[in-house]
Amino acid sequence: MQPEGLEVVLTGAAGGIGSLVARQLREQGARVIGVDLADCPECEGSLRGDLSTTAGAQQVARQLSARRVDVLVNLAGIQYFGPFAHQGEDAIQLGYAVNLVAPSLLARAVLPQMRERGSGQIVNIGSVFGAIPFAHFVTYSAAKAGLKGFSDALRRELAGSGVQVTHIAPRAVRTRFNSASVLRFAAITRMNMDPPELVAARIAAVIGEPVANVVIGFPESLFVRINAVAPSLVDRALRANDRKAAAIFNQSEQHA
């Protein structure tokens, strides 16, 4: 199954990475329908939807269940960087709603038609932070870890159905998604950050392909494996960076 002729629904399509993915898929012959709060200029059509609320995600889910969807790409996401104790209740719920609940609801909406046809693909865009949980990215890491678990469990449940579930875990990406604090943290810790063009190309490359898991970036892909078998080693490796992150917020409080 190649992208040409496929009906692809892409959440977060109006964003920096989403617009690039939409353009690449269109160039490969796919028809891309974007789901976002704003229209996607690179898409053939757009579904306005607010994935930050259950009602909004349910509304989008109903629209998807009523149309053909060959591939669903759950790209939309939201990130919080800071001490967990400082994150408000609404912000906690928002992060889980966009990063985990909405992808689950949309996947559930398109599954019946995919199973009936015996073909289809659900692509969930997670994060290396979900496999290597970072301090000060607590709820973001937790939600992305949940998305990885959801992807693996659903793929196993759908084995033999003809429906493929793919999970992609990029490392940090240089987009407007990053706050000033994140960029400062990336600078002082020398965090690897990929250009959005590279990540978009990797996402587009798996559309229509029987790929289960993709981790973007080295040595991050190695750290993911180490964290799975020896998390204490990663604890020690990240300790210095955790202190640097804490210092950013301590300085902010002192100057407030």
Rounded CA separation 148/132 (Å)? 12
Are 160 and 240 a contacting pair, CB within 8 Å? no
Name the strand (E) or helix (H) holding 223. Answer: helix 220-229
Structure tokens at 15: 């964003």
Strands (E), 31-77: 31-36, 45-48, 71-74
Ordered structural domains, the chain, with CATH? 7-254 (3.40.50.720)
- Mean pLDDT by 10-residue block, N- to C-terminus, for the chain (256 residues)? 88 95 96 94 92 95 97 96 93 97 98 98 96 92 97 98 98 84 84 92 95 91 84 82 78 50
Structure tokens at 37: 């709060």
Structure tokens at 127: 């994060």
What pLDDT score was predicted for residue 251? 61
Given the structure tokens 């109903």, which residue do they identify? 62
